[in-house]
Amino acid sequence: MGSSVSREDPPPPAPTPAYAPPPTYAAEVPPPFTAPVGEKAAAAEEKVDYMNLGVPLPYEEITREAYMSLKPDVFEGFRFDFTKMLGEYFALSHSATMGNMELPSRGDDVIKVPTTGYEFGANFFDPKMMLIGRMSHEGRLNARVKYDLTDDICLKYNAQLTSEPGYSQGMGSIDYKGKDFRSQLQFGNNEFFGANYIQSVTKNLSLGTEAFWLGQQRKSGVGFVARYDTKNMVATGQIASTGVVSLSYVQKVSEKVSLATDFMYNHLSKDVTASVGYDYNLRQCRLRGKVDTNGVVTALLEERLGGPLNLVLSAELDHWKKDYKFGFGMTIG
């Protein structure tokens, strides 16, 4: 009886192709290119939709960053301001001042006389309307009205009324806000009429123009403005047919510190003025000041003492005229 062993033959080898690519290794395959996060953000910012540029600032506010640093509200003497909210939209205010008033003089001498003042104010604010009124003890009334007819049309009116003939004045305007532009029509006493228009040209650049007519004095003029702003800087330029050229630049050093400078030239009077200023906003105080080519040094400190109480210190030194102003103020509310 014999044993038998069954054996299955192995399958034939697979046919070798005429061309076989060389083997590759994972280490040799280059990873796909990915741009750094900063470059991705920069590339996204470069893609500008010129059909949706955004609305520019109003024509009269194109230099507001420089204005905050270079035009601090300095005063002389003592000032006390008190504001009391009587509801969600209504507030009353009281303001008392004691200081000196400068009288006009022919020479370089500064003539000052002591003076005191008091103003009573009433404010009304709601989402569509703003009413502000100030009445002084001398009978001078200052009023401001702003009313939004629609989301795009706004009416404004400012008036100053006095008992002295010829010193009362008023100015009204109709503002229209478009998709990427703003326009304004102005009218006032002394047969004043004006119009301005500002347009967003790119994401950072806006250009504008204005024209006015003063019928009582038979004077007219036109002007052109340009504003270029980024996250870190704002540069503006203005030129008018009246002979005025104005340039300003603001550098945002950080979220709390801004440096500003401006230059103004008047072709008719040949006056040239340049100034450098700063705006330092801390947690409990704000410090602003400037130095200009006329020898004037200005500083304003606003300190929050706690709650609604604020301390205000003001100083202005005019070295050429030897005129020095110091102020101390308290604000409540």
Instruction: State pLDDT tens for residues 281-298.
Output: 988 999 999 999 999 999
Residue 7 phi, psi (nearest 5) = -135, 130
Q: How would DSSP label each residue in 131-194? A: EEEEEETTS-EEEEEEEESSSSEEEEEEEEE-SSTT--EEEEEEEEE-SSEEEEEEEETTTEEE
Give SS3 for 240: strand
| Confidence (pLDDT) at 52 | 77
Instruction: State pLDDT tens for residues 179-191.
Output: 999 999 999 998 9
Written as one letter, the residue type at 152 is: D
pTM of the shown model? 0.79
Instruction: State pLDDT tens for residues 97-142.
Output: 999 888 777 666 778 888 999 999 999 999 999 999 999 999 999 9
- CA separation, residue 13 to residues 6, 20, 23, 114, 189 (Å): 22, 16, 19, 115, 105
The Cα–Cα gap between 40 and 131 comes to: 47
pLDDT at residue 24 is higher than 60? no
Mean pLDDT value of segment 197-206: 96
Q: Looking at the domain that runs over 54-332, which CATH code has it been given?
A: 2.40.160.10
Instruction: Give kind and range of the element (H or E) at residue 64.
Output: helix 64-70
- CA separation, residue 193 to residues 173, 181, 190, 225 (Å): 10, 21, 9, 19
Contacts of 229 (CB under 8 A, 6+ apart): 204, 235
The Cα–Cα gap between 259 and 250 comes to: 6
Go through 79-103 and write b for each residue having 16 or more CB atoms within 10 A of its CB, e for each that does not: bbbeeeeeeeeebebebebebeeee
The Cα–Cα gap between 228 and 236 comes to: 6
Q: Give, rounded to a whole angstrom, the gap between the first and last alpha carbons of the chain.
A: 120
Written as one letter, the residue type at 286 is: R
| Confidence (pLDDT) at 4 | 41
Instruction: Provide the percentage of residues in the chain whose pLDDT is more than 70.
Output: 84
- CA separation, residue 50 to residues 53, 127, 178 (Å): 6, 31, 15
* Residues pairing with 328 in the sheet: 78, 313
| 219: its two tokens | 């004077």
Higher per-residue pLDDT: 29 or 176: 176
- CA separation, residue 201 to residues 48, 51, 182 (Å): 11, 10, 12
| Confidence (pLDDT) at 113 | 86
Instruction: Provide the percentage of residues in the chain whose pLDDT is more than 90.
Output: 69
